Amino acid sequence: MGLNNQFWKILRVLTTNSCNYECVYCHNEGQAEKGKGEMITVENFLRFYHIAEKTGIREVRFSGGEPLVNKDTLKMIEWLNENSEVEIGLATNGSLVNEDIAQRLGRTRTMVTLHFPGVGNENYYSVTKRNWKSFEQCVELFDKYDVDYSFNYTLFPNTIECLEDVIKYSIQKGKRIKLLPFLDSNFSNCSQQYIDRIKVDLSSLRCDYQYFDREGVNIWTFSSGGIVKMIDSPCYKKNIELCKEYGEIRLLPDLSLMNCIFGKNVSTNDKSDEEIQALLNELFDEMKSCEKVIVAQKGKI
Is CATH 3.20.20.70 correct for 93-182+192-230? yes
CA 122 to centroid of chain Cα atoms: 25
pTM score: 0.91
* Mean pLDDT across the chain: 87
Give the Cα separation of 91 and 57 in Å (integer). 18
> Which of 175, 194, 149, 138 minimizes the C-alpha distance to 21?
138
Distance, CA of 167 to CA of 173 (rounded, Å): 10
CATH code 3.20.20.70 region(s) in the chain: 93-182+192-230
Low-confidence ranges of the chain (pLDDT < 70): 1-8, 27-36, 185-189, 236-237, 291-301
**131-147 tens-digit pLDDT:** 999 999 999 999 999 99
pLDDT of residue 1: 39
Give me the pLDDT at residue 30, please.
Answer: 46
Centroid of chain to Cα 241: 19
What confidence score (pLDDT) does residue 6 get?
Answer: 54
